[in-house]
Structure 1
Amino acid sequence: MNRAIRAAALSTAALSLAALYTPAQAASTTGALMITHVRPNTSGADVSGTRQLNLNGEYFIIKNVTARTVNTGGYVPDITSNTYGRALPSYNLPAGAKAYVHTGSGTHHRDSAGWHHVYRGYARHVLPNDGRSRNPDLRLKTPGSPDNNTSTGSVSPCNWNLAADGTTYAC
């Protein structure tokens, strides 16, 4: 019996020492990119007659949380309250950089202030302004993940309730 207790104690001590030399994992597995902010409701009216207004005023911001350049292509923005659609386009986001991911069209670029801009190419507003009936939960999913309103493949979430006009929410 004494031998069994000693063996168990040595085994526990060995596992404890091994744990000291194992690299720590982040509490939240964010992956290479994470959503930091979202502006689901542009300033002013969304529509005038049948014309969509200020599509690029609706956006979310992603950050490259790695020490290397990450290509945004294939990451899937998925939202629980509707089908958000296509994967992000290809854009090389430098280490530590942030990018506005706009709903409308434009040319991907870095502006004079150092901000990166990526455009989804939608012809209509897609982020819900009012989540009172179904809480919107925008998730960024790993490349190849389905846009299926589930959390499978999620690396970074952001949610809001009732989106005030032109307000940007931290995630």
Structure 2
Amino acid sequence: MHRAIRAAALATAALSLAALPSTGHAASTTGSLMLTHVRPNAAGADTKDGRQLNVNGEYFVIKNVTARAVNTGGYVPDITSNTYGRALPSYSLPAGARAYVHTGSGTNHRDSAGWHHIYRGYARHVLPNEAGTRNPDLRLKKPGSRDDNSTAGSLSACNWGSARDATTYAC
């Protein structure tokens, strides 16, 4: 009987702990958004006969780590090995949601599977495939930060060496 009461008490305590809110990955960022994955090298050749191919196959993934919707407008993707350029466009990313941020063009949207897609509008590949003399380091910076290869304003970062074809790297 005592054993059954003790087992019930332990089960109740375990359920109480499981019901507590989890911070998930929020501890690894100081902002509302964080990088979770990057695919710097789209599948196949980048160019053929002078034309860029599969530009949207190059992307990174961001996650809203808050309990409210976050506007992605103004967050700055900055790469230490080059100047990446444009701040993210305005898009309301729901609480806890993830979005693919594609290099190429398209209409920002949520697809039928529930994935969000944001497009940067480049006509060429911009994420480096080769490490060269500097290892690529993609940083997501708070709105208003400069794309200047410095760590100032960084909220989250992702690093890879030489990127294999069609490989997605976890941050």
What's the counterpart of residue 110 of structure 2? 110
Q: CA deviation at 1:29?
A: 3.7
What's the counterpart of residue 139 of structure 2? 139
Letter matched to residue 92 of structure 2: N
What's the counterpart of residue 8 of structure 2? none
1:28 & 1:97 partners in 2: Cα distance? 16
Q: CA deviation at 1:49?
A: 1.8
Letter matched to residue 106 of structure 2: G
1:146 & 1:59 partners in 2: Cα distance? 21
What's the counterpart of residue 82 of structure 1? 82
Q: CA deviation at 1:101?
A: 0.1
1:29 & 1:158 partners in 2: Cα distance? 12
1:134 & 1:128 partners in 2: Cα distance? 10
CA displacement, residues 90-142 of structure 1 (integer Å, 9 cap, x when unaligned):
00000000000000000000001100000000010000001142100000000
- 89 and 48 in structure 1: CA distance in 2 versus 1, 3 angstrom threshold: same
Matching of residue 101 in structure 1 with residue 101 in structure 2: yes
**Paired residues for 1:1-171 under 5 Å:** 28-171=28-171
Cα-Cα RMSD: 1.0
CA displacement, residues 47-78 of structure 1 (integer Å, 9 cap, x when unaligned):
01210000000000000000000000000000
TM-score, with length taken from structure 1: 0.83
TM-score, with length taken from structure 2: 0.83
What's the counterpart of residue 5 of structure 2? none
Letter matched to residue 151 of structure 2: S
- Matched position secondary structure for 2:56: helix
Letter matched to residue 168 of structure 2: T
Q: CA deviation at 1:27?
A: 5.2
Structure 2, unaligned stretches of length 5 or more?
1-25
Letter matched to residue 131 of structure 2: G
